[in-house]
Structure 1
Amino acid sequence: MTGAGAGRSRLVVLAGPTAVGKGTVAASVRAHHPEVWISVSATTRPARPGEVDGVHYRFVDDAEFDRMVAEGELLEWAVVHRAARYGTPRQPVEEALAAGRPALLEIDLQGARQVRASMPDALFVFLKPPSWEELVRRLTGRGTETAADQARRLETASEELAAEEEFDVTIVNHEVHAAAEELVALMTPVRGHESP
């Protein structure tokens, strides 16, 4: 597919409960499907080991985040886990869509609701764990949060799981690569296979 005459593409929004593997699925898409443009969120939280500024997140301080909000530079933003703020810079999203590239936002539930209000034609995909027990194992097995942080995130996750019905499609994250491939398949219009 060349993309010629494709015009503006449809935004795909991936959300789901904390620790379900949204970032890992997005990383698999990034590694295996360079044609897909993936938004890099801005955040006020500190980088975790191995995270690279501008690749995993755009790490900013509170003053810069305040400026971005005040100047309308964010498509959505939210306070997550009652701690750090996260947001999606608007301009790169609009540029990718205008260029006709398959575009993916990997964001939290609050952000997905804001994007639905401003871009209702997007496709909203809910990433779900195989079970609650698996979600707990993934969250506690990361070793990146304190026990208090884990408890707060599990409480948030149980609330977030109840939002599945708000989404257009659900993907169960049994295995990362399979979930990523299912997600990319949703971004590829069937009619594209019919043209010579």
Structure 2
Amino acid sequence: MKMGKIFVLSSPSGGGKTTIRKHLLKQCPLVYSVSWTTRPPRQGEKDKKDYLFVSERAFKRKIEKSEFAEWTRVLGNYYGTPKQFLEKEIKKGNVLLEIDVKGAKQIKRKYRKQAVLIFIAPPSLRELKKRLENRKTENRKEIAQRLKLAYQEIEQINKYDYLVINKDLKECTGDIKAIIRAEGCKL
């Protein structure tokens, strides 16, 4: 039996990965693995749909029990992918993860044959800054931290299988759908 693929979407904060993920889930036969996080929900985010929001104590217990396929700490908050769910779902079909570059490296190391890493880049860092400012979820200091982190993440592009520029949402989503189709044809 052929195992499903793990399609990993990564981008700097404000790069569009959440919006693209939502579009892909409407258009492709993918199961989304909801990440756990210790950060507070943003406006409009729903628990167990966008993230599973948990305490730091609960998250650390899961780390101790090795219950994450990957986990990382970003700007003081923990994020992780539940291992049991991921391993159950890739036996049935394709899974979509929306995770950062550190988590993507862990997934590639642990699930080499199934993992397909897709980096979504903004058209420019100026555009990324504008997107972060427009969403009004971070203050100036947090935006500066996210831009600094974006530079570090962009330096990791060579670790990815694909690079897609998110200048236009429809085009970017179409490019990723083409990647998913092509990966499904691989022997």
Distance 2:169 2:184 in 1: 27
What amino acid is aligned across from residue 16 of structure 2 in structure 1?
G
Structure-2 separation of matches of 1:139 and 1:118: 32
Deviations 1:129-165 (A, max 9, x none): 1111111111111100111111111111111111111
**Secondary structure of residue in 2 paired with 1:98:** coil
- For the pair shown, which has the larger CA radius of gyration, 1 or 2? 1
4+ residue stretches of structure 1 with deviation over 6 A? none
Question: Which aligned pairs between 1:72-151 and structure 2 lie closer than 5 A?
Answer: 72-81=66-75, 83-99=76-92, 101-121=93-113, 122-151=115-144
2:182 is equivalent to residue 166 of structure 1:
no
Which residue number corresponds to residue 52 of structure 1?
46
Identity %: 33
Alpha-carbon distance, 1:189 to partner: 4.2
Shift of 1:10: 1.6
- Consecutive unaligned residues of structure 1, counting only runs of 5 or more, are none
Match of 1:188, SS state, is helix
- 1:22 paired with 2:14, answer no
Structure 2's unaligned 5+ residue stretches are none
1:67 to 51, 61, 70: 61
Residue-by-residue CA offset, 1:106-149 (whole Å, 9 max, x unaligned): 10011111112211221111111111111111111110011111
Query: Aligned to 1:12, which of 2, 7, 22?
Result: 7
Q: TM-score, normalised by structure 1?
A: 0.88
- Specify the SS of the correspondent of 1:120: coil
- Counterpart of 1:11 in structure 2: which amino acid? I
Q: Which moved more, 1:176-185 or 1:112-121?
A: 176-185
Residue 102 of structure 1 deviates from its aligned partner by 1.9
> In the alignment, is the contact (CA less than 8 A) between 1:40 and 1:88 conserved in 2?
yes
RMSD, aligned α-carbons:
1.5
Contact preservation (8 Å) 1:28, 1:176: no
Q: Which residue is equivalent to 2:37?
A: 43
3-state SS of paired residue (2:79): strand
Question: TM-score, with normalisation over the residues of structure 2?
Answer: 0.92
Q: CA 1:72–1:178 in 2, change beyond 3 Å: closer, same or farther?
A: same
Contact 1:41 1:57 in 2 (8 A): yes
